Structure 1
């Protein structure tokens, strides 16, 4: 009885927080409306899925209860589309995305003749033997395959988006991509535990399954609180990238296949000299939102050629290339005894950073010291 009450309490709290965060995401003023709505949809699906545990409170019919349980098939597709929308600024929902609902439709069509369309007595018999019913076993296999595929797909999207970001942007949004990666890891861990819970459910140790179930609800509540904290403190958490941008390795591959190099050695040296002179004279790195497109327009070198020049020829991501200039500028300020009263926070904003953590990470990577320690040893 105490276990049931605990589960119901956790469920109610999680549902309330999920719906509250959904309302916040839908109503908050932001440029990323689609991303917010997709995550709100994911949270609403989560709340609906959790509501199954409150069957005694809501008195759901068997058909509704089973139908709601199949909403799980929509949760990971919703999260995957959310990841796409966060990563790419020009992402839009299209008719082709309806294909993500196929597992959900398949699961319900399988249950139609053997459960939904039969009388109450047959339904009860079906539930009593559910662990041995081929339809239920098929749906369990389907959901586990879906979990695996969508988790892999989400990580592949994040990996590609991070590489494109590093090759084309210089802002602090890389921290946001790292956070989204961490959030995806947390969700992956959650679904892996859920997988083991389902395995134990069909063994001679159902108590292990119930214990894991309670643990999952605690973990789910923590994940949602974590996201709520981030959302409230960073309402414009992510800066998207353009999906039309290509990885340098793909550009080089295309150039080789067409038997045409982007720039020859003489042009490369000329472009490099022009780029370095521009960086020294104009100091564009002071702009925290600087992109490779901005520099391309300023020095009149095509984005493709400039991208190959920096990311391939110099063997540096654009992100690191710009940060090198920012760190050199910060080092000069720290060395200047006339500016000894200028704080590290003022310096990081002055040289183009807008995140203390990214500044400290970049500075230590470049010098081996934190900014504060570097100032002390001078």
Structure 2
């Protein structure tokens, strides 16, 4: 029943993705991945219930499908963290899967009775091919989990250099997804096959629950959030491209000490006089545009002169503004959170975390003292 539930839910979630409104490439990738997982679980179910005698090729295909779990995970993470259009180069990641099935061309081409007999003899005559298949599964899982972690790490690392609020774009959903696949691959290396497929079925249940109830992967998210995420992805990608194209120029010309001091002085005056940090969606690009400097130069100035990244600097200024406001008598009629929102924070969690980092105490403890 667990496997059947996993099969049904995988196909159902795949259907939800392809029928939801405003689909993007990442949705199609996840839908195809879920469909593959459903086929994989169905193949294992046929094997356990001895129904491979009716569907030997479908059951055997299930043995090779885990090879593409890793590529699907990696491509999905890439598409969620980058605005680049889908490229044919992504299909290169599926070559190991094709090679794996090529090893068993003689099986697929054998008469029906012969295929059934091979199953009954536990793959007799294909021992070497089955061993190579197993190695491909191991290598694919480990390599692509590492690639996926690295891709997400680079994305999240770059966010604090570009954005002053990251609560809605931290992509914890992708992190949990990668961790789940990493755990399943840990089971692949050490435990029985039935336990592995049981974990895959539980993963599908989690995917359905978490996706629908918490991050709205399968139903239509708020348009404002979608627009914000798209804008986030595009700006990050543009920044990476600008940095790469200007790298030689940056290294040759660089910033003189006088230039650094001038930009830093103008930055401090801007933060003090105009308080751009009260905009909760302030980005490095926008701040650089106000100062008429290249974003890469501004980032260098912030890092070298302030010893912080863009995110830390802006949120520190927000905390300073918050402390200034609550020291005024007229602020007594407002809640701490409403004042925090006026200062540029967009969530209670972000405010509490940055406040404690800056003052060493929570807002409520500060208020009591």
Task: Give TM-score scaled by structure 2 length.
Answer: 0.85
Residue in 1 that maps onto 2:334: 342
Residue in 1 that maps onto 2:292: 300
Distance in 1, Cα, partners of 2:303 & 2:9: 44
Distance in 2, Cα, partners of 1:44 & 1:319: 40
Secondary structure of 2:361's counterpart equals coil
| 1:320–1:24 Cα change, 3 Å | farther
- Contact persistence 1:167–1:311 (CA under 8 A): no
For 1:57-136, list aligned pairs within 5 A: 61-88=55-82, 90-113=83-106, 115-127=107-119, 128-130=121-123, 133-136=127-130
Residue in 1 that maps onto 2:147: 153
- Contact persistence 1:110–1:135 (CA under 8 A): yes
RMSD of aligned Cα (Å): 2.9
- Contact persistence 1:310–1:317 (CA under 8 A): yes
Distance in 2, Cα, partners of 1:346 & 1:230: 25
Task: State yes or no: 1:189 paired with 2:165.
Answer: no
Deviation of 1:244 after TM superposition, in Å, equals 3.6
Which of 214, 218, 240 is equivalent to 1:230?
214
Residue in 2 that maps onto 1:6: none
| 1:211–1:177 Cα change, 3 Å | closer
| 1:336–1:189 Cα change, 3 Å | farther
Secondary structure of 2:104's counterpart equals helix
Distance in 1, Cα, partners of 2:141 & 2:116: 29
Task: State yes or no: 1:265 paired with 2:249.
Answer: no
For 1:213-224, list aligned pairs within 5 A: 213-224=197-208
Structure 2 gap segments, 5+ residues each: none
Moved more, 131-140 or 172-181: 172-181
Secondary structure of 2:41's counterpart equals helix
Show CA shifts across 1:159-189 (max 9, x none): 2111211111112247623442233122211
| 1:275–1:254 Cα change, 3 Å | same
Distance in 1, Cα, partners of 2:337 & 2:21: 29
Residue in 2 that maps onto 1:353: 345
Distance in 2, Cα, partners of 1:349 & 1:218: 40
Secondary structure of 2:67's counterpart equals helix
| 1:290–1:214 Cα change, 3 Å | same
Task: Give TM-score scaled by structure 1 length.
Answer: 0.83
- Contact persistence 2:159–2:236 (CA under 8 A): no
Secondary structure of 2:255's counterpart equals coil
Distance in 2, Cα, partners of 1:138 & 1:162: 36
Structure 1 runs of 4+ off > 6 angstroms? Answer: 247-253
Deviation of 1:21 after TM superposition, in Å, equals 3.3
Deviation of 1:83 after TM superposition, in Å, equals 0.7
- Contact persistence 1:17–1:225 (CA under 8 A): no
Residue in 1 that maps onto 2:26: 35
Deviation of 1:122 after TM superposition, in Å, equals 3.2
Residue in 2 that maps onto 1:52: 43
Structure 1 gap segments, 5+ residues each: 1-8, 198-207
Deviation of 1:291 after TM superposition, in Å, equals 1.0
- Contact persistence 1:84–1:91 (CA under 8 A): no
Show CA shifts across 1:183-226 (max 9, x none): 312221122112323xxxxxxxxxx4434543453354234422
Distance in 2, Cα, partners of 1:211 & 1:22: 24
Deviation of 1:279 after TM superposition, in Å, equals 1.3
